[in-house]
Amino acid sequence: MDGRAEEKGSCTAVVLAGGSGSRMESGVAKQFMLLGGKPLLWYSLQAVQQSDIIDRCILVAGEESREYVRREIVEKYRFTKVDAIVPGGTERCWSVEHAMAVLRKEEKGARSPRGNGYVFIHDSARPFLTEEILRRTYDAVRQYGACVAAMPSKDTVKITDEEGFAVSTPERRNVWIIQTPQVFEAGLITEAYRRMALAYGEAEADASARGKDGGPPVTDDAGVVERFTDVRVKLVEGSYRNIKITTPEDLKTAEAFLGQ
């Protein structure tokens, strides 16, 4: 254990709600689809609002839906910890970078920088965030500086070539399914994203600069830290119920969980 475990800084949640939800086969963005009579986004914000760990929240939403989110979700349900609603980007990584830019600006201008605190980045499509998950990741980030919620894979995983043929089979005990929240020391994650933005220049606007096949340079926050720093990321137990709502079948599973 190092000095990190002795520190106590402010905890900021970054909740991502800017996706289109194209795989949901619905005209409504998935973060606004109803689960148990409430928008999917409500569940993540409710967990943040009730948490004893999280101090404040930056909500990332699509530019066209920011006013709706403010009026119909944040104000309607009195999510007082949300103190900023920032526009999303063309990909998840750029949405997070928009939130990191806010933190960097605050840190630069504040007398007491937030750089000593921690940032919890969570996808609003995961409605079953709990205080237990927040507590485990909080304890881990204070010790290691970077951690993600994850669970051991229940299935055998195959690595394929570009033609879809299996080329290797990693040992299942070493395969984990990554979830959110992904939690980092504030100074670490804001700097990692700053380096990503510098490395890819105008990549957000230029698809040819986003990575192989025009995709984003990374797919999660741990990937940014792994790629642009030398800090190792600790995997921390999340929950098999901490599912991501991506398809209509996922929504049915979530409804079953909610019913229990």
Q: By CB neighbour count within 10 A (0-12 exposed, 13-18 middle, 19+ buried), where does 124 fall?
A: buried
Q: Examine residue 4 and state whether it is found in any structural domain, yes or no.
A: no
How confident is the model over 2-25, as pLDDT tens digits? 444 455 579 999 999 986 555 544
CA dihedral 80→86→90→96, nearest 10 degrees, is -70
Q: Examine residue 2 and state whether it is found in any structural domain, yes or no.
A: no
Q: Higher-confidence residue: 244 or 1?
A: 244
Q: How many residues does the chain have?
A: 260
- Determine the average pLDDT of the residues in 207-235: 79
Q: What is the CATH number of the domain that holds 232?
A: 3.90.550.10
Q: Is the dihedral of CA 218, 150, 177, 56 positive or negative?
A: negative
Domain that holds residue 126: 9-259
Q: Examine residue 146 and state whether it is found in any structural domain, yes or no.
A: yes
What is the structure's pLDDT at 109?
A: 66
> How far are the Cα atoms of 63, 65, 158, 217 from residue 199, in angstroms, in the given order?
25, 30, 31, 10
Q: With contact defined as beta carbons under 8 Å apart, do 150 and 238 qualify? A: yes
- Mean pLDDT, the chain, as a whole number? 88
The rounded distance, in Å, linking the Cα atoms of 114 and 55 is 12
Residue corresponding to tokens 């894979």: 153
pTM: 0.89
Structure tokens at 155: 């299935």
How confident is the model over 104-137, as pLDDT tens digits? 998 876 544 445 799 999 999 999 999 999 999 9
- Determine the average pLDDT of the residues in 157-168: 97
Q: Examine residue 238 and state whether it is found in any structural domain, yes or no.
A: yes
Q: Examine residue 193 and state whether it is found in any structural domain, yes or no.
A: yes
Count of domains forming the chain: 1
